[in-house]
Amino acid sequence: MDPLQIGQSRPRGDAAAKVAGREPYAADAYPDNRLWARAVRPGVPSGRIVGLACDAALAVPGVVKVLRAGDVPGSNRQGIVHKDMPVLADDRVRCCADAVALVLAESPAAAAAGAAAVAVEIEPLPGVYDLDAALAEAAHLVHADRPGNLLARATIRKGDGADPLARCDVVVEGTFTTPVQAHAFLETESGVARLQPDGTLWMQVSTQSPFRDRFEIGHALSIPYDRIHIEAPCLGGGFGGKDGATVQCLLGLAALHADGRPVKMVWDREESFVAGYKRHACRLHYRLGARRDGTLQALHARIWYDTGAYAHLGAEVMELGMEHAAGPYRIPHALIEGWCVHTHNPTAGAMRAFGVCQVSFAFESMMDLLAQRLGMDPLALRTANALVRGDTNCAGIHLETSTGIKACLAQVARHPLWREREIWRRQAPPFKRRGVGLAAVFNAAGYGGGVRDAAIAKIEMDPTGHFIVHNAVSDMGQGNSSAFMQMAGHLLGQTADRLRIRQPDTRTAYPSGSSSAGRTTYTFGRALTFACETLKSRLLNRAGLMLFLQDDDDLVLEPDRVRHIPTDRSVTLAQLGAMMSAEERVCLGQFVAPTCKPVPDTATGFFIGFPHVIFSYSAHLARVEIDTLSGVVQVTNYLAVTDGGHVINPAMFHQQIQGGVAQGIGYALYEDFITHHGRVRTEDFTTYIIPGALDLPEIVSVACVEETEATGPFGMKGIGEVAMNGPLPAIANGVADAGMGRICRAPLTPERVLDNGVRAPATAQLQK
């Protein structure tokens, strides 16, 4: 076995355990003597609670307690930035997910029966269920203290804003809408909690943000954060849906009332669909102006995000979307306006490509409209306007970090899937039309301005000379812990079997932020490199001591030993482990991600998270075949060329890209989380359609490594999100290229494709 090395495709560290079903997830925890907690969610999207009777529920055999708002000791409000979401609603209900009571019972069946027996009386109130209703004059307010139903209203203005549009040779215009998307992870929201004898609230939970959860739980339940102990085992998927409290506050509340017994909560799929956070539905109106030669001149984008009933990260999602609203292009003048709008729909929050995949649909559709209007090749138009290092992006940020979109586009241009597209198109079988669509996309990494984006990594050598990486950023399946093992193995010269990973534990690891924002491997990984280097030099030093050498020269760290090259004498790691004290065997490393200074004055109305300085870039190509009898779209081939800096593990890199593209194809063609008057209509996977194996093409992923990212560990940057942004616009552009018209409303269902291609005129028109 060779030592682990950066740049090699090594099997994931968790592969064997996961394939064998041994990896413990939070949903798998069944502590002895447990109680089960179940929320009572009346399902009324807007109303006032006028009665809540629990007697019948308490009479159900097996029901132990029924808790209500009055039983919540703290503020009873959760939320990451804005604390506005009740743990248990006390007076008003604002969406169908609102819980009014929490049943503790001896079994899941008793908990369910108890929940059904709680008698809730709710006086319905008026509600707003779409953007127009919420923004109408004198609209009913979701929150009395948020006038106009606006959670946030922000603007980015660069150059002369939208004014230069009047002087452009050509202007194209379009209005786009995007659906709500569900994370649809395998493991639903779940966890166990217990109040320990010493008063600590212990919790093992499926979470992307173990350290921050302490503050959210602590605020809601009035517990000092240092009395909250969170463990975050591997997640069965997160995609942003477990960033922030899901079961945490309910579980904490249950544990406070469980007389020291452990409490378990697992949402079933239906509850997850109702109560889990979702991707924001958006409406986008774009006007893009250019010179006759295709040089982009000005953009006016107006973007509305339906953020649902509570804030969660709604404003931050919108802000990130706005920061990306003009695409990876050089545009001298831009006015980008955003409205983050409350409705009584289920709460929208974080999801992979956080606000960006919505704008990607708009700007990449606009680029094709412009190319068509100018009679230009869509790839040439993109290449001519692509950002390069040293440019200023649409948010006014001077790009000083790696900027690889041009190189990605060049790789697409050379690829047979692009070069041989005309022949392929002409070979369409009867009743099929073929088209090829492109998308150039980007995605910021990190939290952005105003938020500390930092990590503290810990590596330990145990007394037997084996290494433990104390991961502090959850692994939701993306493979960051495997990347950390690979980094540690590389730096310490160790083989995979000498390394173990411990998943986040707030008692033994150190605050390192959430697993999100393309920052997980980047930020913690960089901190880990420092920790590993410190440990390495310490091991050499102690070996030198044991070998009575005059200095540490010519010592090398090898698997299982430190060797002195000139004499070939060595000390085993087990000997070192036995000699060193516990505190000597542990090293920490810290890293703070780069920030933008000075912040340009382009943005107003932004709260936190602006601007970003590191972006990954990607150029995508989709070949689509449309059945003209049914409107069914099949993606037959897919190419994603991605600039993620240096690649740590090619296999895992490609898996991330392929997964992101698959999820993006779902967003483009299938996934549509439908509500009617605030009630969920797609209640489970019978009607919420995600793509299966037969719906996905072979997804060719190419890493474009013209530039490495100097600030990242080994030159890498995060690529977990960027792939999500390409499929919708690439497929929509492919459908238009096939002569089926331009579709501006996602997902591109067969019905919409057939209507659009055969009957209705395109919704986006050309001006001038």
Taking CB under 8 A as the binding criterion, the range among 191-199, 213-221, 439-447, 631-639 that sits at the site for another protein is 631-639
Least spacing, CB of residue 661 vs another protein, in Å: 16
Smaller CB distance to another protein: residue 414 or 426? Answer: 426
Q: How many other C-beta atoms can be found within 10 angstroms of the C-beta atom of residue 51?
A: 9
- Judged by CB under 8 A, the stretch of 72-80, 151-159, 644-652, 745-753 that binds another protein is 745-753
Closest approach of another protein to the CB of residue 434, in Å: 16
The least distance separating another protein from the CB of residue 695, rounded to whole angstroms, comes to 5
* Integer Cα distance of 56 and 119 in angstroms: 8
List, as one string, the DSSP characters of 394-432: TTS-B--S---HHHHHHHHHHSHHHHTHHHHHHTPPTTE
Query: What is the DSSP annotation of 125-165?
Result: -----SHHHHHSTTPPPSSTTSGGGEEEEEEEEETTTTGGG
Question: Which lies closer to another protein via its Cβ, residue 388 or residue 629?
Answer: 629
- The amino acid at 377: D
According to DSSP, the β-strands at 333-342 and 561-564 are unpaired
Nearest distance from C-beta of residue 61 to another protein, angstroms: 13
Q: Measured from the CB atom, is 160 or 695 closer to another protein? A: 695
Say whether residue 754 binds another protein (CB under 8 A): yes
Q: 59 or 109, CB closer to another protein?
A: 109
Specify the 3-state DSSP secondary structure of 372: helix
From 597, 601, 514, select the one nearest 313 (Cα to Cα).
514
Q: Please, what is the minimum distance in Å from the beta carbon of residue 464 to another protein?
A: 44
Contact pick of 186, 674, 710, 760 for another protein (by CB under 8 A): 674
Give min distance, CB of 133 to another protein, in A.
22
Regarding 751 and contact with another protein (CB under 8 A), the answer is yes
Describe the strand order of the beta sheet including 454-461 as a list of residue ranges: 499-502, 467-470, 454-461, 586-592
Our CB check for another protein shows the closer of 226 and 751 to be 751
Q: Strand pairing of 333-342 and 296-308?
A: parallel
Query: In this chain, which of 682, 697, 700, 706 binds another protein, going by CB under 8 A?
Result: 682
State the nearest-atom distance from the C-beta of 587 to another protein, in Å.
49
Binding residue (CB under 8 A) for another protein from 90, 130, 391, 695: 695
Which range binds another protein by CB under 8 A, 410-418, 447-455, 485-493, 748-756? 748-756
Rule CB under 8 A: choose which of 749, 756, 757, 764 binds another protein. Answer: 749
- CA–CA gap between residue 688 and residue 672 (Å, rounded): 7
Q: Judge whether 99 and 78 are in contact, CB under 8 Å.
A: no
Single out the segment in contact with another protein by CB under 8 A; choices: 223-231, 245-253, 580-588, 689-697.
689-697
As measured in angstroms, the least distance from the Cβ of 728 to another protein is 17
Question: Does residue 186 bind another protein (CB under 8 A)?
Answer: no
With contacts defined by CB under 8 A, name the span among 397-405, 448-456, 462-470, 683-691 that binds another protein. Answer: 683-691
Least Cβ distance, residue 37 to another protein (angstroms): 20
Q: Does 765 bind another protein (CB under 8 A)?
A: no
Nearer to another protein, 541 or 682 (CB): 682
Q: Which stretch binds another protein (CB under 8 A): 278-286, 467-475, 690-698, 723-731?
A: 690-698
Decide if residue 430 touches another protein (CB under 8 A).
Answer: yes
Judge contact between 731 and 621, C-beta under 8 A: no
Query: Does residue 694 touch another protein according to CB under 8 A?
Result: yes
428 touching another protein, by CB under 8 A:
no
Helix ranges (DSSP H) in 547-601: 573-579
Q: Does 109 bind another protein (CB under 8 A)?
A: yes
Window 380-419: contact mask with another protein (x via CB under 8 A): ----------------------------------------
Q: Is residue 755 at the binding interface for another protein, with CB under 8 A as the rule?
A: yes
Which tokens go with 47? 């109303």
Q: How far is the CB of 638 from another protein (least distance, A)?
A: 16
CB 721 → another protein: shortest distance, Å? Answer: 24
Provide the sign of the torsion angle of the four alpha carbons 68, 69, 72, 76, taken in this order: positive
If binding is defined by CB under 8 A, does position 431 make contact with another protein?
Answer: yes
- Altogether, the residues listed in the chain come to a count of 768
Q: Which is nearer to another protein, 23 or 695 (CB)?
A: 695
- One residue of 629, 739, 765, 767 binding another protein per CB under 8 A: 629
Rounded to a whole number of angstroms, the minimum distance from the CB of residue 280 to another protein is: 21
Cis upstream peptide for 31 (omega within 30°) = no
Find out whether 519 and 452 touch, Cβ atoms under 8 Å: no
Chain Cα centroid distance, residue 630? 34
- Residue of 13, 179, 477, 691 interacting with another protein (CB under 8 A): 691
750 binds another protein (CB under 8 A): yes
Choice between 136 and 431, CB closer to another protein: 431
| 687 near another protein, rule: CB under 8 A | yes
> In the set 427, 550, 581, 686, which binds another protein (CB under 8 A)?
686
- Residues binding another protein: number (CB under 8 A): 25
C-alpha to C-alpha distance for 319 and 337, rounded to whole angstroms: 10
Between 16 and 674, name the residue whose CB sits nearer to another protein: 674
Q: What is the spatial distance between Cα 280 and Cα 179, in angstroms, rounded to a whole number?
A: 7
Closer residue to another protein, CB minimum distance, 197 or 430 = 430
Stretch binding another protein (CB under 8 A), from 91-99, 161-169, 613-621, 686-694: 686-694
DSSP codes of every residue in 284-306 = EEEEEEE-TTS-EEEEEEEEEEE
d(CA 67, CA 52): 11
- CA atoms of 440 and 233, how far apart (whole Å): 36
Burial call 452-470: b when 16+ CB within 10 Å, e when fewer: ebbbbbbbbbeeebbbbbb
Selected binder of another protein within 50, 681, 698, 767 (CB under 8 A): 681
Q: Which is nearer to another protein, 565 or 629 (CB)?
A: 629
DSSP 8-state symbol, 348: B
- Using CA atoms, how far residue 688 sits from 182, 354, 685, 692, in Å, is 9, 21, 5, 12
CA–CA gap between residue 12 and residue 496 (Å, rounded): 10
Q: Among 53, 689, 705, 766, which residue sits at the site for another protein (rule: CB under 8 A)?
A: 689
Distance of CA 272 to the CA centre of its chain: 17
Rg of the chain in Å (alpha carbons): 27
Structure tokens belonging to residue 505: 């534990």
Strand partners for 591: 455
Closest by CA to 642, choosing from 343, 328, 378, 366, is 328
Ramachandran bin of 308, using left for φ above 0, alpha for ψ from -120 to 50, beta for the remaining angles:
left
What letter does residue 4 receive in the DSSP assignment?
Answer: P
Residue in the block written with tokens 């869509």: 378
Candidate list 1, 138, 582, 693; residue touching another protein; CB under 8 A:
693
Q: Alpha-carbon distance 255 to 261, whole Å? A: 7
Give the shortest CB-696-to-another protein separation in angstroms: 9
Using the contact rule CB under 8 A, the part of the chain among 240-248, 483-491, 591-599, 629-637 near another protein is 629-637
For helices 378-385 and 356-374, give the axis angle rounded to 10 degrees. Answer: 120
- Indicate whether 670 belongs to the interface with another protein (CB under 8 A): yes
- Return the residues of window 278-317 that contact another protein according to CB under 8 A: none
Q: Does 427 bind another protein (CB under 8 A)?
A: no
Please, what is the angle between helix 727-737 and helix 650-669, to 10°? 60
Residues contributing to the site for another protein (CB under 8 A) = 109, 430-431, 629-632, 634, 670, 674, 681-682, 686-687, 689, 691-695, 749-751, 754-755
